[in-house]
Amino acid sequence: MEIVQPPVIHQTAPTANRRHTVTLKLLFIAALVLLLQLPLGLVNSLRQERAGNREAAHARQIGETIVAPGYNPAVAAAEGYRMVERSLKHSVLVLTLVFAAFFLFETLAGLKLHAVHYGLVGAALCLFYLALLALGEVLPPGQAYVGAAVASSVLIVGYSISVLRSYARAGTIAALLAGEHSVLYVVLRMEDYALLAGTASLFVVLAGIMFFTRNVDWFAQETGAKPA
């Protein structure tokens, strides 16, 4: 009599692509923040070049004509260049906070965001600095900052509606961007207390991240298992 062997049941171990996904995503975000410093460096180089050209043209204008008192486009442009320079110094923080918000939505809401999603959001954030540079040459620094912030934020929020699959989540991103740009503007305007204001903002942000992630089982997130 033929002996029938029982079928072999293969145990499906947790797939490798689900293990340590949180750590890998955090490493990717850190690498992306560093990578985006390359286009921001180009923006800074463009700022230096245009500032030098504008300064030379302003010097010739002073030598040839008498500048009327009041609003001076050349002086306003110089202030705009300075604002761009100081804004770029906070670019790592701005990028990190926005990416952290998307990462938290991805983790807490069970979403799956591709590297392309993060890359396009990063590109929109980089355009903020380029728009600030361009608008700063034709508008007062305050108006240039608002225009650049609104343009960049509209891009990100509109994209977030589709990526995050929720108007409420996109609204949270909009609130984050509004708060972030507002705080950054205050920090840029504060000469003596800029470091203090920036440090206090970091404490608030870190406290918020700790609060919203206090109940997250990171070990379960790492292995892809369901939290207990």
Neighbours of 97 (CB within 10 A): 17
Q: Tell me the per-residue pLDDT of 89-146, one tens digit each, with 9 for 90 and over.
A: 889 889 999 999 999 888 888 788 899 999 999 999 999 999 999 998 888 888 999 9
Task: Domain of residue 190: give its range.
Answer: 19-65+72-214
pTM, two decimals, is: 0.79
Which stretches within 8-140 are classed as H helix?
21-35, 37-64, 73-89, 91-108, 115-136
> Which position has the higher pLDDT, 74 or 11?
74
Residues in the chain: 228
Mean per-residue pLDDT over the chain, rounded? 81
User: Domain total for the chain?
Assistant: 1
Burial (0-12, 13-18, 19+ Cβ within 10 Å), 219: exposed
- pLDDT-based confidence at residue 77 (cuts at 50, 70, 90): confident
Assigned domain for 88 exists: yes
d(CA 189, CA 71): 19
Assigned domain for 1 exists: no
How confident is the model at residue 61, as a pLDDT?
A: 61
Assigned domain for 12 exists: no
Neighbours of 214 (CB within 10 A): 7
- pLDDT-based confidence at residue 157 (cuts at 50, 70, 90): very high
Assigned domain for 93 exists: yes
How confident is the model at residue 38, as a pLDDT?
A: 94
Place of tokens 């069970």: 110
pLDDT over threshold 50, residue 158: yes
